[in-house]
Structure 1
Amino acid sequence: MTLLSSERSAERQPDSRPPTADGPVYGWQEPPIQVAPPAASTAGQEAIDLAARAGLRLDPWQQHVLRVGMGEKADGSWSAFEVAVNVPRQNGKGGIIEARELWGLFIGGEELILHSAHEFKTAKAAFKRIERLIRQTPDLHKRVKTYRQTVGEEGIELHTGQVLRFIARSKGSGRGFTGHCNILDEDMILGDNEMDALLPTMAAVEDPQIWYLGSAGIGALSVQLARLRKRALAAIEAGRPDPSLAYFEWSANLHVRECPKDCTAHDDASSDEAVLKSNPAVGYRLTLEKVAKERATLSAEGYARERLGVGEYPSDEGDAWAVIGKDAWEALADEDSRPDDPVAFAVDVTPERSHASICVAGRRGDGVHVEVVDNRPGTGWVAERARALTKRWGPRCWVVDPGSPAGALIKEITDALKVDPDEEVDEEEEPRLLAPLVQTKTRDVVQATGQFYDAVAAGRISHLDNAPLATALAGARKRELGEAWAWARRGVGVDITPLVAVTLARWGLFAEIEEPEEEVEPWAEFG
């Protein structure tokens, strides 16, 4: 039986130590939080050796997860039906996924392995990584019948019939497939509908296994991860393993307001010890110096979540989709929906400035089509993208809330929208723009939110079921503004910029736009 808490695990970290001049510093190779059922043997070493043959050298912590997660009972069946790995980003969870998938294809003989991610681009990137590993290993490559490159059907099929498929999760993805192993990447965004689509595929399989991999919980969207974590902590508290769950979590246990000054039971968020405890890749692909730069740049909440693994886990599954119901939103999805002219664009930025969104709205019949055009990290790309979209689509206007974090981009966007970006404009004159940039007032934001909500209720919104927009709606709540309300997020990790931007874009379709006054020559000129 493997059952570790923070205190017990700390005694088993021979490679972890405070920084010294004597040698390299490594993160904890066994997690502070771990629980797993007993095992008589393991297939993990086979996976580790096969990965090495393919050129994938695994860190000790990655090997540890594979050995424990792939533990076997005396009869050879899996000890754990479910395996969950909760570790901060950039530590190398992808290596664990690749080793497990290689084993399932080439040694385990698993007929179908389903690899799913929250977004299609993540699943496709995973496909490309494992494809490279196999192609560069001749004795594996020769066993491949085909590498399926068709968009949405990416996968690898062996001559002996085993298949590894890569899909983006949705309400229906995975239905109709009988998976022997399900790999659920980005498990911090995983709810009931996705589980309902994927898990029953394993019911008819003898000895299946499901792997969940991701980073710290981000609030209402982390429904399934919260359940797994709750089971693991309950098992540790009871002093006995969960009979079907192997759970591994690298995270710090930060001080709380009530801690005395000499508290040793919790971690200091600014300490290297907290980093080592929550980042097993330190010494392999991360360094304390790089982490120190992150700490200086990120917000306290963002750093705690992204680097120290301090998550927000919903206790009530009803927290998600609290404003607009999931069924109501999905009923408005139409993959053939397209906006008619004129269109309006809008921009929004997260409070941490970690992500920004550009969205569009356009009339469609007696309703409005809304769509996420871009949802990307950072903000440096927004102005250039705004100019390109404007030149291509000739929008009615752009909309930005000057009181929001996006307000800091108004000058950049305005400059980018100038007819001639090199044209010198008198500071007292309004610049000539390719499209007007409308700055909302508080009452406009309130009206926009109410109008969007009413349009959804009346069925006068159509959308393409963009994953970022669905995620934003699931994690949104109401922010009271007197007797009205606007959008707010349920957790610091929730990005609602796609929702705010489509709301503003729809408002921009109908907003009155003040035309610049033309200068009139004085009478004296015509005397």
Structure 2
Amino acid sequence: MIGCQTPRILSVPWRRRVDTGRWDGTEDQEALDFRSPAGQECIELAEDAGLYLDPWQQLALHHSLVEDDEGRWASLDVVLNVARQNGKGGFLEARQLGEVILFGGKLVIHTAHQFNTAQESFLRLDQVIEGSYALSRRVKRVRRSHGEEGFEFFNGARIRFLARGGDSGRGFSGDLVLMDEAMKLRAAPIGALMPVLSARPNPQLVFTGSAGLGDESEQLALLRARALAEGDPDPSLTYLEYSIDQHVKECPTDADGRIVCELHDNREVVRSWARANPALGIRIRPAYVEREMRSMRPDLFDRERLGVGDYPEVTDETWQVIAKDKWEALEDASSKPADPVGFAIDTNPERTWSSISVAGASGEGVHFEVVDHRPGTDWVIERAKELDMKWSPCAWVIDEGGPAGSLVPGLRKALEYEDDEDREDRSELVFCPKVRELTQACGQFYDRVEEGTLAHLGQANVTVALAGARKREVGDAWLWTRRSDGVDVSPLVAGTYAVWGWEMHHDDEDEGAPNVW
């Protein structure tokens, strides 16, 4: 099997695609077919030098070398996030040669976290140039002294290879800066290297590396957050990431604790390896990957081979609506809802996750928690009926205009209890608020948090939802929405509507039988 040639996450100035769920083997043909004149020139130059690029390497060149109306690079920042040994070097070699031979660049700065990595890149490019008469005749001088590695060309262009440090690159007015091992890049070196681009008419900054390592992947996390942000694609960014869509802790398991979810990529199958490794079957053998999986610690294999990264929070991108410390202060593990309770249901836009939340009185305030949060939607109606039979809630709330709206007819039908003569029809307790009422629900939830009258259990799925939520303005009010495609806010949305449903209907009185006297 040949590796997937198109990235799972693609964000370019004119298009964004974040492919979630288990990969079915389908390529993003639109991305593969895309062509840019400068990208094509760069590919042909590489071929003339005997450097034949894989389709995914060509894709990276075509997308990153798009020009704007003034003939400048549309993307100032370019990111190629792919596991080791796939062939990032081939992309970098072609890009560097294109800069100094085709695009008029006068200085290329190639940096790496460690000097031996930068030195290895120098040796690779040296071999490419030495093996091509067309290229070698353009080289005026090759610098091989330790710490001075680089090339000087007859047209005045230079390529330098440096290890990153506080001052590496400062003072060079560069046209192209390459940052290899970007997963080991904090923001500080950018302060040293970014100014080198300002004096050039057509600069570009290229980041290459593998999955995030935690706090030290600070700069990569910033770039990834830009790629995943809601709204229009970032107009100055090309971001390409090859990775699997990993299982999450909410995925179902069998009696032995093995994950049985079919919605995400299985780390043990070749297709998942192919999704994260475009060079699988080309320069990476599946048999070797299998040995890696057996030899490596699971988290290391997932990161190094499957692109599962640990990216630090971008602080100004998270907890945008409710302060983290304020939310954590409301956690009460002993809190329970009193009768009557209200339930609400919500589903994410992709319909891959649904949530049922509950709200009820707790002391002088309101208790809120997520009762169920599972993949898909096919389980919701049956589970809701079970909860209704147990709790006889005062309300079921669903946003009929949202993804969960399709569940309304089924829920009402289930609550008619046609197959149970001992139960009354409760379908009238399914409420579908108008937009004005939904915005009131969000404001009401927010006010209770600010006032300290909402109790919760500190559930992880709610914490993740709040950290990744933001406001979607609706006139002078707002609704919950997610900050990026990878965030599921359905636990939070369902909780907000459950609180509203309880507030509106917990005092409703049963009219009872008519007075015959």
> Which category of TM-score, normalised to the shorter sequence, fits these structures?
0.5 to 0.7
User: Which residue of the partner structure matches residue 313 of structure 1?
Assistant: 311
Aligned equivalents of 2:263, 2:104: Cα separation in 1: 46
Q: Residue in 1 aligned with 2:221?
A: 226
Supply the distance in 1 between the matched residues of 2:36 and 2:141 (Cα, whole angstroms): 33
Give the one of 251, 256, 262 matched to 1:259: 251
Structure-2 residue corresponding to 1:28: 4
Please state if 1:250 is matched with 2:242: yes
- Contact kept? 1:40, 1:73, Cα under 8 Å: no
Which residue of 167, 171, 176 corresponds with 1:172?
Answer: 167
The verdict on how the C-alpha distance between 1:148 and 1:273 changes in structure 2, with shifts beyond 3 A counting, is same
Matched, 1:133 2:124: no
Deviation at 1:182, TM superposition (A): 0.3
8 Å Cα contact 1:223/1:317 also seen in 2:
no
User: In structure 1, how many angstroms separate the alpha carbons of the residues matched to 2:78 and 2:56?
Assistant: 15
Query: Superposed, which structure 2 residues align to 1:82-481 within 5 Å?
Result: 82-234=77-229, 237-238=230-231, 240-260=232-252, 263-315=261-313
CA contact (8 A) 2:245 2:264 kept: yes
What are the superposed Cα offsets for residues 452-493 of structure 1, whole Å, 9 maximum, x if unpaired? Answer: xxxxxxxxxxxxxxxxxxxxxxxxxxxxxxxxxxxxxxxxxx
Aligned amino acid, residue 242 of structure 1: D
Helix, strand or coil for the counterpart of 1:211?
strand
Whether the 8 Å CA contact 2:244–2:276 is kept in 1: the answer is: yes
Whole-angstrom distance in 1 between the partners of 2:84 and 2:168: 25
Q: Tell me the secondary structure at the aligned position of residue 178 of structure 2.
A: strand
1:77 Cα deviation (Å)? Answer: 1.2
Structure 1 stretch displaced more, 284-293 or 255-264: 255-264
Give the partner amino acid of 2:287: E
Which one-letter code corresponds to 1:105 in the other structure? V
The SS at the match of 2:43 is: helix
Q: Is the 8 A contact 1:185 1:213 kept in 2?
A: yes
Work out the CA distance in 1 between the residues paired with 2:294 and 2:215.
28
Instruction: Tell me by how many angstroms 1:213 deviates.
Output: 0.2
What is the total number of aligned residue pairs between the two structures? 291
Aligned position for 1:525: none
Shift of 1:263: 3.3
1:75 matched to 2:70: yes
The alpha carbon displacement at 1:219 in A equals 0.5
- After TM superposition, the runs of 4+ consecutive aligned structure 1 residues lying more than 6 A away are none
- Determine which structure has more spread, i.e. the larger CA radius of gyration: 2
3-state DSSP of counterpart to 2:182: coil
1:77 counterpart SS class = coil
Residue by residue over 1:350-383, the C-alpha shift from the partner in whole angstroms, topping out at 9 and shown as x without a partner, is: xxxxxxxxxxxxxxxxxxxxxxxxxxxxxxxxxx
Query: Any idea what the Cα deviations from partners look like across 1:91-144, whole Å, max 9, x if unmatched?
Result: 000000000001011111201000000011111111111111111111211111
CA shift, 1:54, in A, is 1.1
Structure 2 residue identity aligned to 1:177: F
Question: Aligned partners of 1:213, 1:285: CA distance in 2, in Å?
Answer: 19
Q: Which amino acid aligns with 1:135?
A: E
Shift in Å at residue 231 of structure 1?
A: 0.6
Give the Cα separation in 1 of the matches to 2:286 and 2:234.
35
Structure 2: give runs of 5+ residues left out of the alignment: 15-33, 254-259, 317-517
Are 1:53 and 2:48 an aligned pair? yes
What is the Cα deviation at residue 192 of structure 1? 2.0
CA contact (8 A) 1:124 1:166 kept: yes
Task: Output the CA distance in 2 between the equivalents of 1:288 and 1:142.
Answer: 40
Q: CA deviation at 1:193?
A: 1.9
CA contact (8 A) 1:250 1:279 kept: yes
Partners of 1:56 and 1:95 within 8 A in 2: yes
CA distance in 1, matches of 2:192, 2:272: 38
Partner of 1:408: none
C-alpha distance in structure 2 between counterparts of 1:270 and 1:133, whole Å: 37
Unpaired stretches in structure 1, ≥5 consecutive residues: 1-24, 319-527
* Deviation of the 1:316 alpha carbon: 5.3
